[in-house]
Amino acid sequence: MLRHLEALKQTSSVTEYQQHFEELTHGIILHNPAFDDTYLVTRFLGGLKEEIRAAIALHRPKDVDTTSALTLLQEEELENSKKKIIHRDQSKSAYKAFSRVDKPKTIDSGKSKIKPVENKLGSLKAYCR
């Protein structure tokens, strides 16, 4: 069981990871109650996804219950921020679609169409002569 605890990694939600962790720790503590909170908190943090682990480690939680609660809050906050980013990106793309103004690429000057840059260059050359 100890090997399973050491190899445990978060692959889905924090809730599922937390359930697997609790199952393994209960079995370990039944056989050896000498494991302290520091070891269990370290193992719990070690298996979390990096984006969650970094924020929780800053709090330096003292027990697994506190670590679990902070982890659930962090996961919820990450999901909310991802939703905000997706919503913001969608609104930006919608704004770009409505605010796009088609600029004329050519200027109609009688018989042929001349690009604005060529027209300016021709005017400059004529002025210099």
Q: Domain coordinates of the chain in residue numbers?
A: 2-99
Q: Determine the pLDDT at residue 2.
A: 86
pLDDT at 104 over 60: no
What mean pLDDT value characterizes the chain? 82
Distant-in-sequence, close-in-space partners of 39: CB < 8 Å, separation ≥ 6: none
Predicted model pTM: 0.65
How big is the chain by its Cα radius of gyration, in Å?
31
For the segment 91-97, the average pLDDT, to the nearest whole number, is 61
Distances (CA, A) of 43 to 15, 67, 91: 16, 11, 41
Distance CA 80, CA 36 (A): 34
**What confidence tens digit (pLDDT) does each residue in 28-55 have?**
999 888 888 999 999 999 999 999 999 9
pLDDT at 93 over 70: no
For the segment 17-38, the average pLDDT, to the nearest whole number, is 92
